[in-house]
Amino acid sequence: MQVSRSLKKVIFWLLGIPVTLLILGIYHGLMQTIYRAGFLNDSSFLKIEYFQGLTLHGVINAIVLTTFFAVAFGHACMTFFLKREPNKKAMWISFWLMVIGTGLAAWAMLAGKASVLYTFYPPLKGHPFFYLGTALIIVGSWIPLFDWARMYREWRRENPTTKIPLAVLGTLVNFIIWFVCTLAVAYEVLVLLLPWSMGMADINVTLARTLFWFFGHALVYFWLLPAYIMFYVMLPKLAGGKLYSDLAGRIALFLFLLFSIPVGVHHQFSDPSIGQNIKFFQGLLTYGVTIPSFITAFTIAASLEYAGVKRGSKGLFGWMKKLPYLDTNNFMFAYLIAGLILFIFGGLTGIVNASYSLNNVIHNTSWLPGHFHMTVAGPVFLAIIGMSTYLYAKMSGKKIFLPKVNVIIPYLWMIGVLIFSTGLMWGGLIGEPRRTNLGMTYLNPKHELFTPEWVPTTMLALLGGIIMFIAAMLFIVVFFGTIFRKSKLEAVLELPYSEAYHDEKRIPLFDRFKPWLVTMAIIIVIAYTPALYDAVTNPGPKAPRFTPANPVPDLLKIKK
Amino acid sequence: MSVIDKSEKKVLMISGVVIGLFIFSILYAKDKYQSDVPECIPFDKAYTEPRINQIDEKTFQVFSVASMWQFEPSEIYIPVGSEVDFYLSSKDVVHGFNITEKNVNMMAVYGNINKTTVRFDEPGVYKITCHEYCGVGHENMQAEVIVHQPQTK
Ligand code: HEM
Ligand SMILES: [Cu+2]
Ligand SMILES: [Cu+2]
């Protein structure tokens, strides 16, 4: 369909800004593997300190890229599937809030005033602009939801008995989850962290951590759902088949709405002051989120099998050989399938993390980054970069630069991540810590803390990291190469979408939000009231401010 | 056509069984190996003084205090077969407390007390590694539990 210049511009900038920043984010990924393997025994390289780099890496890759993309992709899906455009003003206000927020946070990080990592746990203090910037990014990303809700209601009035398009359902579910979970982190940032960082109050650290993780687990589904939308709505079509079951997609999405948030305490299994029963209960609820994932795994595999069979495959697994893995005109298939393969391992290792006392084995070891580079840096990242190229090329009417390279990038990335994560996870199982500049001590043969067991594990991670780096740089070349080409084709907003193989009749329950929102609220209250109660009542004194280089608290302004 | 087909029904059933199996394993391990997540106890200032308390021959309380960038006490000597209650607190930022071989894994948080119990049945030196970023000295933050044969003390 044809869309307005304004919408195009918003989408292009929302895609282009994070991809530009990604150069910096990816550079630090590679650097971390170099330090950790012991090839750098310093605290900094080229004037950027390890944890300053790690903060940039986490914030750019996992917050800025994912949020900007989710908004851009949301605009595209809502517009394309509802055949109407978002409100211009709302779109631009949201855009500028996010850009200003990114600018503030980037300044604080680059100036070395906020090396507090993307989880910004107090009482390690960052510059107030870092917190303010984060808050602006979040608030900016809320605005589209309200406008999209308006678009949906308008569409609903015109189409009272049509099933809501799956991509629209996915976008709305995703941003409802995002809105609810970010309320907690907005409270943490604006009410607890900002005044504390300015020296106006001390802070209850456990409460801050609990609010952060109320947000933090749902955050991972906010990363994931745009990729899920692509798996359900687009992948079957790209494979040359149909979506096995339309209803399965709807059920999975609504289950995410219910279970994404009330499970955050599973990130605090090792924390003090939160009851074991609460931890166990939220661990159980976490298994609730495995159900939509199992449903998805089956439905997508069945859809791909159907596509393979339609392409004339034989035998039980023959369909796997018939899929269009290297079709340059159909490169989104490559990005999505490579991501799915990584996600098999990402999902399985995630179940390990969620398994209550099993978490003791791996919590905060390098197993964790090993796991989540197969989720957020796996299907999520590949879906994001693939779709960024796709959307940009379509909407600008340009041909892809280096199409043959473009189609092998996802496989190269996949191989890199598999090697990289194997190294990290193996290391984690033998105690290699995450968030540690290992090159300074543990991987420095001249240091008394040198730990030879971690040599092979960090070397593997380095090898994988180099391959990932090459793949990511090739993507940057393809993306900007495409931008610098001349428009040759008609510029349109067009997304692939699959027909359903089982196109079930409309079931009203799966076509409305209200009952699900009410259930969601109830489960959250049940799961989080006791956790917050513990976080408020069990801790003792509140903490002042500390900076990375100084064990003496910064009491400059007001004490008590 | 029914809403869900035969293979979908099967898959849902298999998923249910698999999840049930996982939950059973967690409960089984919890019981059999006494593996649990850290305990929840309210803050008590008396627990924030670094020291080792011997309760009886084979039972110890270790009050471990993490700070930028050390654990106190930094060397903990105990005889083989000892059971140790670790009480962990922090004087400043968040620190980690990881004894890999014993699956001890806790966060040290200002104004909070973390607690877990472990038995050391094998002699040896067990490293306690800080695995949460805690500032410029983070990479140096390691302590030791030295488990010895009783006669060598
Ligand atoms: C060349 C590619 C990449 C490499 C080599 C790489 C490497 C690493 C390494 C070694 C760590 C752990 C550092 C430590 O804990 O000390 C890490 C952390 C992390 N990475 Fe990556 N990474 C890459 C790409 C990505 C991408 C694409 C994403 C997300 C879309 C991502 C998200 C993260 C996050 C969220 C963390 C955790 C940061 C923290 O602990 O605060 N990475 N990365
Ligand atoms: Cu989680
Ligand atoms: Cu540390």
Look at ligand 1, atom 34, and give the residue with the nearest C-alpha.
A58
Same domain, A199 and A332: no
CA A484-A488-A493 angle, 5° bins: 90
- The answer to whether position A243 is within a domain reads no
A window 425-444, beta carbon within 8 A of B: 430-431, 433-438, 440-442
Burial-class residue B76 by CB neighbours within 10 Å (0-12, 13-18, 19+): buried
What pLDDT was estimated at residue B151? 66
- The answer to whether position A85 is within a domain reads yes
* Atom of ligand 1 at shortest range from CA of A22: 27
B22, B44, B110 ranked by CB distance to A205: nearest = B110
What is the total count of domains within chain A? Answer: 2
The 10s digit of each residue's pLDDT in A310-338 is: 999 888 889 999 999 999 999 999 999 99
Q: Is the CB of A117 under 6 A from ligand 1?
A: yes
Mean pLDDT of chain B: 93
Averaged pLDDT for residues A514-538? 96
Q: How many residues does chain A have?
A: 560
Q: Is the CB of A338 under 6 A from ligand 1?
A: no
Least confident of A106-110, A154-158, A464-468, A551-555: A551-555
Burial-class residue B137 by CB neighbours within 10 Å (0-12, 13-18, 19+): middle
Same domain, A38 and A187: yes
If you ran DSSP here, which 8-state letter would residue A543 be given?
Answer: B
Query: How many Cα atoms are found within 13 Å in the side-chain-facing hemisphere of B13?
Result: 7
- The answer to whether position A315 is within a domain reads no
Same domain, A31 and A168: yes
Domain final residue pick, A490, A524, A546: A490
B window 6-45, beta carbon within 8 A of A: 7-8, 11-12, 15, 18-19, 22-23, 25-26, 29-30, 35-45
pLDDT band, residue B88 (cuts 50/70/90):
very high
Nearest to B39 by CA among B116, B111, B112: B116
Averaged pLDDT for residues A487-516? 92
- Identify the residue whose tokens are 């993507």: A475
Q: Is the pLDDT of residue A533 over 80?
A: yes
The 10s digit of each residue's pLDDT in A232-253 is: 999 999 999 999 999 999 999 9
What pLDDT was estimated at residue B32? 86
What pLDDT was estimated at residue A377? 97
Q: Is the pLDDT of residue A122 over 70?
A: yes
Q: Is the CB of A32 under 6 A from ligand 1?
A: yes
Q: Is the CB of A37 under 6 A from ligand 1?
A: no
What pLDDT was estimated at residue A520? 96
- The answer to whether position A135 is within a domain reads yes
Averaged pLDDT for residues A71-97? 97
- The answer to whether position A361 is within a domain reads yes
Contact status of A539 with chain B (Cβ, < 8 Å): yes
What pLDDT was estimated at residue B1? 46
Q: Tell me how far the alpha carbon of residue A468 lies from the centroid of ligand 1, in angstroms.
A: 11
What pLDDT was estimated at residue B77? 96
pLDDT band, residue A557 (cuts 50/70/90):
low
- The answer to whether position A103 is within a domain reads yes
pLDDT band, residue B153 (cuts 50/70/90):
very low
Residue type, A166: L
Provide CB contacts within 8 A for B152, sequence distance 6+.
Answer: none
Mean pLDDT of chain A: 95
Q: Is the pLDDT of residue B132 over 70?
A: yes
- Bond into A456 cis (ω within 30): no
B25, B37, B132 ranked by CB distance to A279: nearest = B37
The 10s digit of each residue's pLDDT in A5-61 is: 999 999 999 999 999 999 999 999 999 999 999 999 999 999 999 999 999 999 999
Query: How many Cα atoms are found within 13 Å in the side-chain-facing hemisphere of A478?
Result: 27
Q: What percent of chain A has pLDDT over 70?
A: 99
- Contact assignment for A540 to B132 by CB distance below 8 Å: no
Domain final residue pick, A444, A464, A490: A490
What pLDDT was estimated at residue A560? 42
The Cα–Cα gap between A10 and A297 comes to 34
What is the extent of the structural domain holding A2? 1-203
A window 31-70, beta carbon within 8 A of B: 43, 51, 54
pLDDT band, residue B2 (cuts 50/70/90):
low
Parallel, antiparallel or unpaired: strands A550-554 and A545-547: antiparallel
Same domain, A334 and A198: no
Burial-class residue A350 by CB neighbours within 10 Å (0-12, 13-18, 19+): buried
- Spatial contact of A212 and A119, defined as CB atoms under 8 Å apart: yes
The Cα–Cα gap between B3 and A28 comes to 49
Q: Can you give the pTM of this predicted structure?
A: 0.96
What pLDDT was estimated at residue A307? 95
Which residues of A are known to be catalytic? 217, 221, 371-373, 434-435
Domain final residue pick, A203, A223, A238: A203
Contact status of B111 with chain A (Cβ, < 8 Å): yes
The 10s digit of each residue's pLDDT in B3-54 is: 778 888 898 899 999 999 999 999 998 888 888 899 999 999 999 999 999 9
- The answer to whether position A99 is within a domain reads yes
> Smallest CA–CA separation between A408 and chain B, in Å?
33
Q: Is the pLDDT of residue A556 over 80?
A: no
- The answer to whether position A305 is within a domain reads no
Averaged pLDDT for residues B91-113? 96
A-chain CB neighbours of B18 within 8 Å are 294
The Cα–Cα gap between B96 and A364 comes to 8
Averaged pLDDT for residues B111-134? 96
Q: Is the CB of A106 under 6 A from ligand 1?
A: no
What pLDDT was estimated at residue B7? 86
- Spatial contact of A504 and A414, defined as CB atoms under 8 Å apart: no
Averaged pLDDT for residues A212-240? 96
Q: Is the CB of A30 under 6 A from ligand 1?
A: yes
B-chain CB neighbours of A284 within 8 Å are 23
Q: What percent of chain A has pLDDT over 90?
A: 92
Averaged pLDDT for residues A343-351? 94
